[in-house]
Amino acid sequence: MLVIVRKGEVVEQKEKLYKMKEACKILGLHPNTIRLWDKQGKIKVVRPQGGQRRIPESEINRLLQGPSAVPPPPSTIPKDEGLSSFLNYVFSHHRDDWELVRKAVIIRDNYTCQECGGKELLEVHHKDGTSRNDPDNLVTLCQKCYNLVHKRARKMPAPQPITKPEAPAPKPEKPTKIQPPPVPEVTELPRHKILDDLKPTGLAQRTLFGDLLSATAVLKSFTLGDLATRAHCPEDVAKTFCERMSACGYLVSKNGMFEIHVRLAR
């Protein structure tokens, strides 16, 4: 606190303002972090004449107090009685909306890292390594634990349950490049082979499946409606086609979307 004394009387009491560089040094943060927190409203910053950011002493003290210095945005927290219904609603209707699911999981875990109990820089992690947005597959982790889990997952071939973060392992003598996960090979087959596998009931259905196969090859990723519109055929025929293609492994279904998993040979 800066105290201005004029003629032996306390005229004004002004709070000390820190420059960005000084604040960063005290808090041990990067200037960009402070700018981000300012944008997100996590920290109060004043801008005197000149427009540069100055951080008040009280804010620095608040941040230094403990890990819970940055409070969660109050508007997004549902009331306790409504929490379960809110989570139910999100996971049943908006499972594909990652931003909403992420927010819901963080709220469910009470803005706390489930590993170390930290409350800053929170991320949501998929336990099994897939992008399946199920409540039991998602967990809130802080950035540090998240990175640690991901590093471990890259080293290990199979996904492992999350364990407490340990001391970093000694560095290997020769750094090896991290190999990306192997991409399953897409087989290339002639049209007539694929249509033989689909076992059409007659020639009419065979030619119809041929039209649908052409539409599939063009669309690559589609819904039933898209396919039926593209091939100018009823949706129930498109459904039969997709079911048989999926049974043969030529189509992969994901959240109502189909993806072709075979290449047509010329």
Partner 1 sequence: MTTFEKKIGRDRLFESYIWSWGLREDPFKLELPSIEAFAPFQRRDLRKLKRLFSGGKVGVLTGGLGTGKTTVCEFLVASLKEENLTESDPSKQIIPVFIHGAAYKSADELLRAIILGLEMDASKDRENLFEFLRRWPQEHQERLAILIDDLPESGADALDVGEFLRVLADIPNISILINGTFKQMERFLAKVPALADRIQTKIKLKPMTKKNLKELLELRLKNAGCVCYKDLLTPNGFKSLYKFSKGVPRSALKAASNAIHYAAETDAPIDARVVKRANKRSFLKRIFSFLM
Residues at the interface with partner 1 (CB under 8 A): 190-192, 195, 202-204, 206-211, 232-234, 237
Q: Which of 22, 143, 122, 144 is nearest to 72 (CA)?
A: 122
Question: Residue 12 corresponds to which amino acid?
Answer: E
Comparing CB distances to partner 1, the nearer of 109 and 211 is 211
Comparing CB distances to partner 1, the nearer of 167 and 203 is 203
Write down the least CB distance from residue 49 to partner 1, Å: 42
Residues 6+ apart with CB under 8 A from 231: 211, 212, 214, 215, 238
Comparing CB distances to partner 1, the nearer of 24 and 237 is 237
Write down the least CB distance from residue 210 to partner 1, Å: 4
Q: Which of 100, 108, 157, 165 is nearest to 133 (CA)?
A: 100
Comparing CB distances to partner 1, the nearer of 169 and 203 is 203
Write down the least CB distance from residue 192 to partner 1, Å: 4
Write down the least CB distance from residue 189 to partner 1, Å: 12
Write down the least CB distance from residue 234 to partner 1, Å: 7
Comparing CB distances to partner 1, the nearer of 146 and 209 is 209
Q: Which of 86, 95, 183, 105 is nearest to 146 (CA)?
A: 105
